[in-house]
Homo-oligomer: A and B are copies of this chain.
Amino acid sequence: MPEAVSRPTLEAVAARAGVSRATVSRVVNGGDGVREPLAERVRRAVEELGYVPNQAARSLVTRRHDAVAVVIAEPESRVFADPFFALQLRGISKELTAHDNQLVLLLTEGRPDHARVARYLAGGHVDGALVFSLHLDDPLPGLIRDAGVPTVFGGRPHWSEDTRDARPGRAGEGADRGVVYVDCDNRGGAHTAVRHLVDLGRRRVAHIAGALDQTSAVDRLDGYRDVMADVLGESDPRLVVESDFTPAGGERAMRELLDRCPDIDAVFAANDLTALGALRVLRESGRRVPEDVAVVGFDDMVPVAEQTEPPLTTVRQDIEEMGRLMARLLLRGLSEGRDGEHPAAGAQGAPGRGVILPTSLIRRASA
Q: Please measure, in the bound complex, the distance between the C-alpha atom of A362 and the C-alpha atom of B118, giving whole angstroms.
A: 43
Asked, given contacts A14-B168, A34-B340, A338-B33, whether A175 binds B90 with beta carbons under 8 Å apart, the answer is no
Instruction: Tell me whether B341 and A146 are in contact (CB under 8 A).
Output: no
Range for the number of chain A residues in contact with chain B: 35 or more
Bound complex: CA A354 to CA B26 (Å)? 24
Min CB distance A116 to B, Å, is 5
A299 to chain B, nearest CB (A): 16
Instruction: Verify if A195 is at the interface (C-beta below 8 Å from B).
Output: no
| Measured CA separation A123–B63 after assembly (Å) | 13
Cβ of A77 < 8 Å from any Cβ of B?
Answer: yes
Bound CA–CA A169/B90 (angstroms): 36
State whether A29 and B125 are in contact (beta carbons under 8 Å apart), knowing that A102-B116, A340-B34 are contacts in the complex.
no
Which listed residue (B20, B104, B107, B168) contacts A175, Cβ 8 A? Answer: B20
Besides the known contacts A14-B168, A67-B125, 11 further A-B residue pairs in the complex with CB atoms under 8 A apart: A21-B148, A21-B175, A24-B148, A26-B340, A29-B122, A29-B124, A33-B338, A35-B340, A55-B123, A80-B80, A103-B107
Show 21 A/B contacts (Cβ-Cβ < 8 Å), sorted by A.
A1-B171, A10-B146, A20-B341, A22-B146, A25-B122, A25-B148, A26-B340, A29-B148, A30-B124, A31-B148, A32-B63, A33-B337, A33-B340, A66-B119, A80-B80, A97-B109, A97-B113, A102-B106, A102-B117, A102-B120, A105-B106
The 5 closest A-B pairs by CB, nearest first: A25-B148, A80-B86, A105-B105, A26-B148, A34-B340
